[in-house]
């Protein structure tokens, strides 16, 4: 049996520190070993206690959570889970934190929440187990113009691309989509993310990547050069209409504990597109997307999984690989280029 994950809780609110500590200590596999009210206290506590994981408030006095996270990742890289308000401003800050190197983000409780902090304990345990290599300094994001497959050398064929991701998916999707040219194949994505985060994330991707990236809307036509991100919250993303493929947002119960669910998206792609599709499963906790990717492969689609070494959490890709859903595993740095090789029109002359 593994030792409990040792956690340092950092938040300027004594009430919030108490709530987080109570939620985490309710799990026998987690042990809160200390608390800190600001960055200076946290710095000293990290030195003295050597925690496995830190939970870090974004908004703190003196030095905010983003500044402190940046210092952690440069000077003493370790798993950090950010705790944020579920507001537009909080979403922007959380996305910045994930790009700096945070393991994941959770929202602060809202009135009426049945499970305050959601699956924070599970994320803490995954962070403690993670084999992720924390680098002294994250690699800089390449500008959208630095694309290795410029539009004049790529022409999309008939395939649609479907991508699923969870923990670690923000950085992973940026890495994949920055390889796409402005005329990329139609691409649909489900990334597990709170409702208020997905619009900000789509806008962020749109600024960083050559194609148009937008939050999916019901009825939006799938077009070359466009990427559609499932909105978080109350509905699942599917594709429908074989004659004019489009996005559909459907009201259904959560699947695998998620809404939107990767499996729901992949199932619809398998049914509608069959062999004219590429399925990609990226880093993430749990198993969402594994069975849907298997359906895609059985329907004739090409399927790709992120390899263990480059995953923040090798959960979803591992289950998919063990089910036989993954045709090839690749390191994250290669996945964008592999998608373009498969979807280029010159590869589809016989289809």
What are the residue numbers of the active site?
A: 166, 192, 288
Helix residue ranges per DSSP H, the chain? 14-25, 39-49, 65-75, 88-100, 120-129, 169-177, 195-208, 262-273, 290-298, 316-323, 332-343
* DSSP-based three-state secondary structure for 249: strand
Which residues does residue 84 pair with via DSSP β-bridges, in sequence order?
Answer: 107
d(CA 266, CA 247): 13
Residues whose CB is less than 8 angstroms from the CB of residue 230 and which lie 6 or more positions away in sequence, other chains included: 188, 189, 190, 191, 198, 216, 236, 237, 260, 265
Residues whose CB is less than 8 angstroms from the CB of residue 207 and which lie 6 or more positions away in sequence, other chains included: none
Residues whose CB is less than 8 angstroms from the CB of residue 220 and which lie 6 or more positions away in sequence, other chains included: 214, 228, 246, 247
End-to-end CA distance of the chain: 52
Cis amide linkage into residue 29, ω under 30° from 0: no
């Amino acid at each position: 049996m593994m030792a409990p994950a040792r956690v340092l809780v950092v938040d300027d609110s004594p009430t919030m520190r108490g709530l987080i500590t109570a939620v985490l200590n309710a799990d026998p596999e987690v042990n809160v070993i200390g608390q800190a009210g600001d960055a200076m206290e946290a710095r000293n506590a990290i030195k003295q206690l050597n925690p496995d994981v830190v939970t870090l408030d974004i908004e703190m006095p003196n030095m905010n959570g983003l500044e402190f996270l940046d210092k952690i990742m440069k000077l003493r890289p370790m798993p950090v889970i950010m705790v944020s308000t579920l507001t537009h401003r909080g979403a922007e800050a959380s996305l910045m934190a994930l790009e700096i190197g945070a393991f994941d983000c959770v929202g602060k409780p809202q009135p009426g929440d049945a499970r305050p902090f959601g699956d924070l304990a599970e994320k803490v345990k995954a962070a403690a187990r993670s084999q992720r290599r924390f680098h002294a300094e994250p690699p800089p994001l390449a500008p959208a113009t630095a694309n290795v497959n410029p539009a004049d050398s790529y022409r999309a064929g008939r395939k649609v691309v479907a991508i699923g991701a969870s923990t670690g998916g923000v950085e992973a999707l940026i890495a994949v989509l920055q390889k796409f040219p402005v005329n990329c194949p139609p691409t649909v994505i489900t990334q597990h993310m709170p409702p208020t985060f997905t619009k900000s994330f789509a806008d962020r991707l749109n600024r960083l990547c050559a194609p148009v990236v937008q939050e999916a809307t019901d009825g939006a036509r799938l077009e070359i050069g466009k990427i559609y991100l499932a909105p978080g919250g109350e509905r699942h993303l599917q594709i429908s209409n074989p004659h004019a493929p489009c996005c559909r947002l459907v009201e259904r119960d959560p699947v695998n504990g998620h809404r939107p669910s990767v499996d729901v998206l992949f199932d619809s792609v398998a049914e509608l597109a069959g062999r004219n599709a590429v399925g990609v499963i990226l880093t993430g906790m749990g198993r969402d997307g594994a069975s849907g990717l298997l359906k895609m492969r059985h329907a004739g689609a090409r399927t790709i999984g992120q390899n263990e070494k480059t995953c923040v959490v090798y959960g979803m890709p591992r289950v998919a690989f063990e089910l036989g859903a993954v045709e090839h595993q690749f390191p994250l740095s290669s996945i964008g280029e592999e998608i373009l090789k498969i979807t280029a029109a010159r590869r589809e002359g016989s289809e």
